[in-house]
């Protein structure tokens, strides 16, 4: 058994991996991480003064707090890294770091992980975290208790074994380039066996916060735990407030009702926001591919020529310029952020309206009525108008259907698959296997060659991994499985007294333990509210 030491970083062949997408380890066999706690969990300055309350604004509200049965980005955004923790986590540089596992070893054949767990870690309900609860958490993802489609990432696990109270062995069916990374996402959340009965309203985890209040559709309040195993957060309370539209969110940060707006979706207002001396603006990266989905399983989009017509006939750059003031990255329609190592920067689909019209005519689909189901999300509503016009120019008879998000969209489009076209940002990093290697997913994309290539890439040696993933992407694009309109930026607007907000959306959680806010003193001056 070979050992290589933390930090885990990719080899030069993976140099394109930057901040947006978590990188995989360059260690193929026998990797061991150190036991240090990441700088993401740095301690607040020691003092007796009370810590501050930080209020963060965003748009999509969670319909439930149970991501094991409910899809969507809002739940893990608030809970992962804050309430729930995994054996590992993904830091802001996209590296795999130890968390509840102090270190681990990987067998020479790449199929067996041995995790050495931290001691004296407790869940927020007082239950001890150990190898038994870690085994329970991994096994539960594989059970019928989980219905979130992301659970498929745990199908690679053949068996889990408790060696002793603080040692867990996980055996995979075959070597995997992606499994350890996925353990830093929501599927790797460690859960209390005694706390799962109320996951939808009272989640229990080992993280630095616990849920103290949830007003459905309005706000979610996290309170710092006094008994947290690690270093205390830099704020005492974090409140997530949810706004129904981008203008309300922008007005809230401008008025000081909230301390920061996360993922602002009104870029046309950025110039005026930057001109406000009380505010600061940061633009980072996300994993969010804004996907124009086509229901591959029903007419007219069960014809590849119709799907290709959409890829040629939608002017993606025009959508970016018109609805996002030029922010966002045009990826050529590919479902790959530029920071993924298999991103090539090329596309077979440059804007060509005459070619799109010819393909639609060849398919006998000119004048076909289609419905564009638009979720009630600012970026989707902004893009819908121009999409309506472009799709009509291609030759479709288009109707727009506004779909309340998340409840109605999840029920009708995502779960019911009762739609023709829709658009939504898929923020799960490295989600190509979920999107295009699962025929039961809402896209209805079914291509055995893609499934074979993705499976081969996951089990391949590092030297072959990127090439096989590029081949899979090429095949997906040849079949026009979906049309990625652009890669979503992370726009953060905050008061100048706020610091420590993660700039990049690297994994599925927004860790808030490092956020701090200066508070006015009684003399009218500002000082650190958590100092």
What radius of gyration do the chain's Cα atoms show?
Answer: 23
pLDDT at 521 over 50: no
Reported as a single tens digit per residue, the pLDDT across 283-313 is: 988 888 999 999 999 999 999 999 999 999 9
Reported as a single tens digit per residue, the pLDDT across 376-402 is: 988 899 899 999 999 999 999 999 999
Q: Are strands 96-98 and 157-164 parallel, antiparallel or unpaired?
A: unpaired
**33 vs 104: CA distance, rounded Å:** 6
Residues above pLDDT 90, as percent of the chain: 71
If we measure between CA atoms, which residue out of 323, 328, 279, 252 comes closest to residue 493?
279
State residue 520's pLDDT score: 57
**280 vs 282: CA distance, rounded Å:** 7
Q: Tell me yes or no: is domain 53-283+490-517 CATH 1.20.1250.20.
A: no
**Domain chopping of the chain, boundaries:** 53-283+490-517, 288-488
Beta bridge partners of 495: 279
Residues 436-453 have a mean pLDDT of 96
At 168, which helix (H) or strand (E)?
Answer: strand 167-172
Q: What's the mean pLDDT when you consider all of the chain? A: 87
Question: Can you tell me whether residue 138 is helix, strand or coil?
Answer: helix
Burial call 221-256: b when 16+ CB within 10 Å, e when fewer:
bbbbbeebbbebbbbbbbbbbbbeebeebbbbbbee
Among positive and negative, which fits the CA dihedral 419, 326, 406, 375?
negative
User: Cα separations (Å) of 319 from 248, 351, 381, 385, 417?
Assistant: 23, 12, 12, 10, 25
Reported as a single tens digit per residue, the pLDDT across 257-276 is: 999 999 998 888 899 999 99
Please count the other Cβ atoms lying within 10 Å of the Cβ belonging to residue 69. Answer: 12
Residues 71-76 have a mean pLDDT of 89
pLDDT at 39 over 50: no
Q: Please give the CATH number for the structural domain made up of 288-488.
A: 3.10.105.10
Q: What crossing angle do the helices spanning 378-394 and 316-324 adopt, rounded to 10°? A: 140
Question: Can you tell me whether residue 491 is helix, strand or coil?
Answer: strand
Residue 435 contacts residue 294 (beta carbons within 8 Å): no
Reported as a single tens digit per residue, the pLDDT across 46-57 is: 344 446 999 999
**148 vs 139: CA distance, rounded Å:** 15
At 421, which helix (H) or strand (E)?
Answer: strand 421-426
Reported as a single tens digit per residue, the pLDDT across 80-137 is: 999 999 999 988 766 789 999 999 999 999 999 999 999 999 999 999 999 999 999 9
Tokens 């309170």 correspond to what residue?
223
Reported as a single tens digit per residue, the pLDDT across 309-365 is: 999 999 999 999 998 889 888 999 999 987 778 888 788 899 999 999 999 999 999
pTM here is 0.76
């Amino acid at each position: 058994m070979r050992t290589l030491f933390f930090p885990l970083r990719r080899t030069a062949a993976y140099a394109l991996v930057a901040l947006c997408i978590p990188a995989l380890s360059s260690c193929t066999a026998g990797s061991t991480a150190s036991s240090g706690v990441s700088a993401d969990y740095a301690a607040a300055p020691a003092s007796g003064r009370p810590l501050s309350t930080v209020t963060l604004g965003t748009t999509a509200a969670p319909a439930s707090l149970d991501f094991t049965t409910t899809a969507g980005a809002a739940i893990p955004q608030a809970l992962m890294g804050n309430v729930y923790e995994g054996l590992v986590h993904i830091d802001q540089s996209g590296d795999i770091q130890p968390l509840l596992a102090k270190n681990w070893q990987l067998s020479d054949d790449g199929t067996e992980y041995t995790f050495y767990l931290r001691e004296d870690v407790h869940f927020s309900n007082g239950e001890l975290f150990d190898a038994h609860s870690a085994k329970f958490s991994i096994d539960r993802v594989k059970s019928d208790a989980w219905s979130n489609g992301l659970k498929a990432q745990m199908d690679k696990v053949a068996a889990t074994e408790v060696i002793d109270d603080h040692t867990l062995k996980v055996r995979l069916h075959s070597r995997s380039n992606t499994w350890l990374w996925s353990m830093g996402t929501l599927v790797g959340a460690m859960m209390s066996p005694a706390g799962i009965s109320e996951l939808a309203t009272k989640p229990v985890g080992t993280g630095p916060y616990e849920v103290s209040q949830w007003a459905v559709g309005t706000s979610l309040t996290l309170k710092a735990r006094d008994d947290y195993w690690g270093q205390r957060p830099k704020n005492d309370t974090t409140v997530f407030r949810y706004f129904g539209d981008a203008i309300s969110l922008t007005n809230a940060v401008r008025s000081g009702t909230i301390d920061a707006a996360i993922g602002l979706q009104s870029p046309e207002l950025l110039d005026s926001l930057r001109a406000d001396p009380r505010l600061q603006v940061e633009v980072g990266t996300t994993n969010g591919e804004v996907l124009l989905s086509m229901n591959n399983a029903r007419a007219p989009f069960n014809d590849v020529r119709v799907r290709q017509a959409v890829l040629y006939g939608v002017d993606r750059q025009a959508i970016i310029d018109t609805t996002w003031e030029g922010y966002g990255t045009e990826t050529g329609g590919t479902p790959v952020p530029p920071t993924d190592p298999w991103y090539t920067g090329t596309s077979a689909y440059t804007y060509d309206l005459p070619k799109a019209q010819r393909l639609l005519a060849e398919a006998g689909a000119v004048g076909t009525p289609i419905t564009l189901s638009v979720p009630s999300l600012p970026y989707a509503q902004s893009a819908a108008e121009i999409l309506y016009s472009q799709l009509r120019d291609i030759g479709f008879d288009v109707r727009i259907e506004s779909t309340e998000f998340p409840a109605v969209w999840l029920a009708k489009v995502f779960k019911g698959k009762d739609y023709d076209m829709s658009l939504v940002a898929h923020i799960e990093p490295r989600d190509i296997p979920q999107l295009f290697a699962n025929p039961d997913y809402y896209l209805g994309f079914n291509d055995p060659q893609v499934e074979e290539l993705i499976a081969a890439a996951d089990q391949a040696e590092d030297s072959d991994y990127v090439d096989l993933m590029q081949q899979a992407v090429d095949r997906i694009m040849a079949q026009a499985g979906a049309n990625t309109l652009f890669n979503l930026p992370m726009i953060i607007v905050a008061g100048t007294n706020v610091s420590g907000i993660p700039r990049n959306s690297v994994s599925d959680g927004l860790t808030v333990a490092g956020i701090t806010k200066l508070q006015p003193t009684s003399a009218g001056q500002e000082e650190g509210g958590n100092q």
